[in-house]
Structure 1
Amino acid sequence: MRSTTIGTARLTKAHKLSAAGITVAMGAAAVAMAVTPGQAAETPSIAVQPVAWTTTDLGAHHHLTQQAKTTAADAADAKKKADAAAKAKADKARADKQAASRSEARTPVKPAPAKPAPAKPAAPAAPVKKAYADNLDGWIKESLDILKSKNIPASYEGIKRNVMRESTGNPRAINDWDINAANGVPSKGLLQIIDPTFKAYHVEGTSWDPYDPVANITASCNYAADKYGSMDNVNSAY
C-alpha cells in the first residue's frame, strides 16, 4: 500500500494546533480508504489546502476578547463601587437617625405655656361724687339731689324759707321750751324735727343723726310732702 501524501503548506506558529488537528483527521481518512480486494493497486493522493489564517485576524480576535474582558471587569468594578456607596449612604442615614433619637431622648420636653387667664371685665367706674359746699347753700343743694332721686317734691326757695324761720340756719339748734320739749322730745336741727318724726321719715342714704343738716332737711321734706304736699306749702310751724 502506498502512503498517503498530505499536501503541505507553510504554517505560522499560531496555526500549529489547527494544522495538527487536520493531520489527525487525514490520518483517519486514510485508514478508511484502505485497499480492499479487487480494488486498484494504487489510491490517489489527497491534497489538503492549508487554512488561510493570518496573524492580523488572530490579533483582531485577541484584541476584541481582551476588550470584552476589560469592559466586563469595568462594569463589575463600577457595580461594586455603586453598591459600596449605597451601603455607606444607608449606614450614614441609619446612624443619623439613631443620633437624632438619642438627642431627642436627652432633650427635656418643655411644658406647654400656660393659657392666660381670661381678662376680668372692668368694674364699672364709681360715680363721681358731687362736691357740695359745707354751708346752708351746699346742704340745701345736696338735699334737693337726694329728694329728686326719691321723687320727693321740694324747691330751694321753699326749703331755705322754712330753715330761716325755724333755726336761722343753725344745724345745732334745739327747742327746749315748747310742748314737744315738755314731752321730752324737743325739736332739733335746721327744720326743727322731733326724733320720732325724723326716724319715721328718714331718707335712705342719709345719716341717722337728726343734727346732720342733709339728713334733717331730707327727713323734714319727706314729712312735709306726706302731710302738706311739699315743703313749699309750709309757711309756719308744722
Structure 2
Amino acid sequence: MSSSSTLGPRPGRTRRVSVAGVAAAGAAAAAVSLVPGVAAAAPAKEAVAPSPVATGTASPVAFSTQAEGAQVSTLRDGIGGQQTTLLPAPAQAPADRAVAVAPNEASESDSASAEPGQESAEQQEPEYPDNLDGWIREALAIMDEHGIPGSYEGIHRNILRESSGDPNAINTWDINARNGVPSKGLLQVIQPTFDAYHVEGTPYDLYDPVANIVAACNYAADRYGSMDNVWGPY
C-alpha cells in the first residue's frame, strides 16, 4: 500500500452531510425565535422531517402533550439532545361555558332580590276606586267569599233605579218612610233589613256603599234567588 492512501480524501470527492441534521437545526432555530403568548402565523403546510441519510444520525422527533386543554408541541433536534417547547397562545374559554357560582353566592343573590316586607301581587290587597264602579267590584269580591250570588250588571241596574248612584240617598215618601224606617243608600235598604242581612267584614253602616250593596244582595238572594232577578221595588 502506498503512502498516498493514508492522506485526506481524494480530489473530486465530497463529504456526505446529513440532510436530517441540517433540517433539524433549522427547525430548532426557528422554534427558539418564537415567544410564548405571541401568536405566530400558521405555516401553510406542516413541515415533515425527512428520512435520515446517514446511519446513526438521529431524526428530529416532534411530539405533543395535552395539559389543561392547551396543546404543547416539543421538537427534539437529535443533535446534542437539545429540545425546544412551543407554547400556543392562551386558549380562550368558550362563550357558552356556564360560569360556576358558589352556593353561598347564589343564596345571597336570591336574598338580595327579595326586599324585606316585599309581597307578591297575589298577597297584596286589591285597591278599588272610590266610585260606583269600585264599590260594585269590591262588593262582588266580598260576595264571592261568602257565596252570595249576583252580577255586576244586575247590581248596577238596580242601583241606578233605586238611588241613581248616590250612597246618601234617602226615600222620604214611600210606605217605609211613613212607618219611620226610610230606605237609605245605594240600594235603598231599610235599617231592619240591613241589621238582619249585614255581612261580617263590611262596615256596620247603612250609608257605607259596599256594606249597603252586600247586605241588599244577601237579602235579594234569600228572597229572590239573586239581585239579578230583581227588576223593580223589592
Normalising by structure 2, what TM-score?
0.48
**Structure with the largest fraction of helix:** 1
Question: What's the TM-score, normalizing by structure 1?
Answer: 0.47
> Relative to total residues, which structure has the larger strand share, 1 or 2?
2
Which of the pair has more CA radius of gyration? 1
